[in-house]
Amino acid sequence: MRVLHLDLGRQMRGGQYQVMHLMEELSARGIEQRFLSPHGEPFAIRKLRRDVDVVHAHDAKSHTLAALFARAPLVVSRRVAFPLKDTWTSRWKYRQPALFLAVSKYVAGKLMEAGVPAAKIEVIYDGVLPLPLSSRTGPLIACESDDPMKGSDLIRRSGVKVVFTSDLPEALKTASGLLYITREEGLGSAALLAMAAGVPVVASRVGGLPEIVEHEHTGLLTENDPGAIAAAAARLFTSDAAVWGAQGRALVHSRFLTRHMAEATLLAYRRVM
């Protein structure tokens, strides 16, 4: 099997790391792959005409170009929960893929609301690497972001003492808990990463997050209200939090590792070939 991956994102964010993990896992399974992106081999439309079995577009821009020029079955990953544009060009673009890989049931629902047939959608959750168990001797942490949709302002308004980090794997070595507050989310791979380290999570009750953070079982869900966030964060210092962390870690190891994501994606490729 030969797979061509496309990603035109200019920054290394969660989606780009998922592509990297997927390619590593597929390579270990003997799958021949190429990767066209601003970070790797320079993108050229003529390369979409090469002899490959599957073209996998990982972001909106590469979806557009692949829809126009790819000559192999097109698989498109959909990781965001934004509504689809209701224009003729958008409707045409979303008719072209053989299959959409939605990062959550919530995202799958958004695709169906926009008219994509359920038969052309498969839910494949993000995967994370196993992490060492956190010592949980450090502070509460949150992901540093200037994206207004991510809710850093809500955390600050809550008055919770938290350390914002841009190096999540390093911070998770000692973190007592993760606040994952956001106004919209396709899934939330940062929450999965924290759970992999046994770090209990407080997450917004939005988007696909309730599909991985089960309230009072693998973490806590909260409304996007500063008072509610503060009350939930305080519970991360109770004896229950250690139980939630352990149960979250067990869930990730059973369903949400990179190998689970890769195996499901490989089955999806075979489905469209």
For residues 217 and 238, membership in a common domain is answered with: yes
> Contacts from 83-86 at CB under 8 Å and sequence distance 24+?
83/110, 83/113, 83/114, 84/110, 84/111, 84/114, 86/114
Residues 263 and 244 reside in one and the same domain: no
Residue 180: domain span: 140-255
Phi, psi at 134, each rounded to 5°: -65, 145
Residue 111 to residues 177, 186, 205, Cα–Cα distance (Å) = 33, 12, 20
Joined together, the tokens standing for residue 123 give: 């839910």
Q: Are 118 and 171 within one domain?
A: no
Phi/psi at 218 (nearest 5 deg)?
A: -115, 10
**Helix, strand or coil for residue 52?**
coil
In-domain check, residue 213? yes
Give the C-alpha separation, 167 to 73, whole Å. 37
Which three-class secondary structure state does DSSP give residue 249? helix
Asked if residue 145 and residue 209 are part of one domain, the reply reads: yes
Q: Looking at the domain assignment, is residue 122 inside a domain?
A: yes
Share of the chain above pLDDT 70, in %: 94
Question: Is residue 132 situated within a structural domain?
Answer: no
Please tell me the total count of domains within the chain: 2
Mean pLDDT for all residues in the chain: 92
Dihedral sign for Cα 125, 155, 218, 191, please.
positive
User: What does the pLDDT read at residue 90?
Assistant: 83
For the entire predicted model, the pTM comes to 0.91
Residue 261 sits in the same domain as residue 179: no
Contacts of 111 (CB under 8 A, 6+ apart): 78, 84, 94, 100, 102, 121
111 and 57 within one domain: yes
Q: What is the pLDDT of residues 45-99, one digit of tens each?
A: 556 656 899 999 999 889 998 998 888 999 999 998 887 777 878 889 999 999 9
Residues 6+ apart with CB under 8 A from 193: 128, 131, 168, 169, 172
Q: Find the mean pLDDT for residues 234-257.
A: 96
